[in-house]
Amino acid sequence: MPASRTRHLCSVAAALALTAAGPATAASAASAAPDGLREVLFVGNNWDGTADVIRSSGDFAKIGRIDVIPDKDARMAEINADPIKWIYFQAIRNSVGEGHDQFADDMYSTPDGRSVVVSRPSFADVVSIDLADGKVNWRFPVAGYRADHMAVSPDGTRVAVSASTANTVHVLDIVTGRQLGSFATGDKPHENIFTKDGKYIWNMSIGDVNTALDAPGWDWTKGDRHITVVDATTYKQVKVVDMRQRLDAFGLKDFSDAVRPAVFSPDESKLYFQVSFFNGFLEYDVATDRITRMKTLPKNPATSEDRTTWVNDSRHHGLSMNPGGTKLCVAGTMDDYATVVDRASLQEGPLVTTSKPYWATVSGDGKDCVVSESGADQVTAIDFATGRKVTSVPVGDHPQRVRLGHVQADWTGPGGS
């Protein structure tokens, strides 16, 4: 069982029933920092194993940097001693890692702002890093050989992490690393999101995104992909949404049913989601259980039409919504732009040039969309109101997930560096 350090926990109240069930928007996390804490954005630099901590709004200036692989030597010794682990480590490097190791996929801070919890794909684990001294508080090895996206509960006490090669999601106590439960998913679980009341978890499985069988006629080879909804107390399945049936009913039989990033409207009545290979997104009505609208965004003429050249079956990967629920922000990954879309009309704004944008989130003040430019090693803020670029800030190698969190008010890095 993982070692732990006791942390003070705080809670956040919310209330929504499953009849309107759906993940909370990223913007709903934006709030005033508790006493003694400072709200920040954590930027995970996947290829170099660091996380940059930047201001959550305004100029997004850098505050500090964290090494999220301080135990690298020990982990590599374990991998090199186990032939199966070594094979998977190399496979991750040469497939989803595009020739690089994946050391920092997703991250959330603890409610007291003293630690950050990180999923590390290449090490197939989740670790808690002490923000004061940079040391590992606890480590949880996931089932199988790769850790992926995470989600944090509304009260900040639990994290859910996808074990992508084991078709499993683990739910952990964020302070101790103790497993509270787990549940089965479709093939290759990816995104996880808690409902606002913390009672349910939605998991999206994306199937096998690393084969060259990318033509629509071969879509059936990608595996069993669906949304799994579970009770977040018992971890029992309460609902399955198979988008294949909904896409077919909408006349999109050639579309992939691999749900990528997704975001719910503030009242959790509508789900907006991206799917593999598509330059745009779809709208799903939770109550009627059907797809209601589709938005196709412009293609970059410089982007190859050869699907096998698109990273991990993505065309667009990254979606967020402003707090008012009036604007969506889309990361056009393979088309090298990001854009703000009016939710009512689905009219896009200016196409803001970005280099392989991999994620979209919301600033602490809710005014800007923040995208990670994995091809340029920077994050870029885009004004929700105007759709125009605000600023760009350099970060580490291959930024991907960007998450709101907290640190101690006077924190500037481990050891005060």
Q: Is residue 157 part of a domain?
A: yes
pTM: 0.90
Q: Taking residues 2-29, what's their average pLDDT? A: 34
370 assigned to some structural domain: yes
CATH code, 171:
2.130.10.10
Domain contains 10:
no
| Residue 140 belongs to a domain | yes
Q: pLDDT digits over 154-166, tens only?
A: 999 999 999 999 9
Query: Percent of the chain at pLDDT above 90?
Result: 86
User: Strands, E, within 88-236: which ranges?
Assistant: 106-109, 115-120, 125-130, 136-141, 147-152, 158-163, 168-173, 179-184, 189-194, 200-205, 227-231
What's the CA gap between 50 and 39, in Å, rounded?
19
**Considering the domain boundaries, does residue 411 fall inside one?**
yes
Give me the number of domains the chain comprises. 1
Average pLDDT, the chain: 91
Q: State how far the Cα of 65 lies from the Cα of 326, in Å rounded to an integer.
A: 34
CA dist., res. 272 & res. 267, Å (int): 13
For residue 248, what are the domain limits?
38-416
Residue 409 placed within a domain: yes
In whole angstroms, what is the distance from residue 212 CA to residue 273 CA?
A: 23
What phi and psi values does residue 373 have, to the nearest 5 degrees?
Answer: -95, 90
Query: What is the per-residue pLDDT across 295-322, written as a single tens digit (0 to 9) for each?
Result: 999 999 999 999 999 988 999 999 999 9
On whether residue 143 sits in a domain, the answer given is yes
Do the domain assignments include residue 5? no
Give the model confidence (pLDDT) of 108-122 as tens digits.
999 999 999 999 999
Residue 215 CB burial class (10 angstroms; 0-12, 13-18, ≥19):
exposed
Contact 204, 173 (CB under 8 A): no
Are 179 and 129 contacting, i.e. CB atoms less than 8 angstroms apart? Answer: no
Compute the distance between CA of residue 53 and CA of residue 174 in angstroms, rounded to an integer: 19
pLDDT value for 97: 84
Amino acid at 43: V
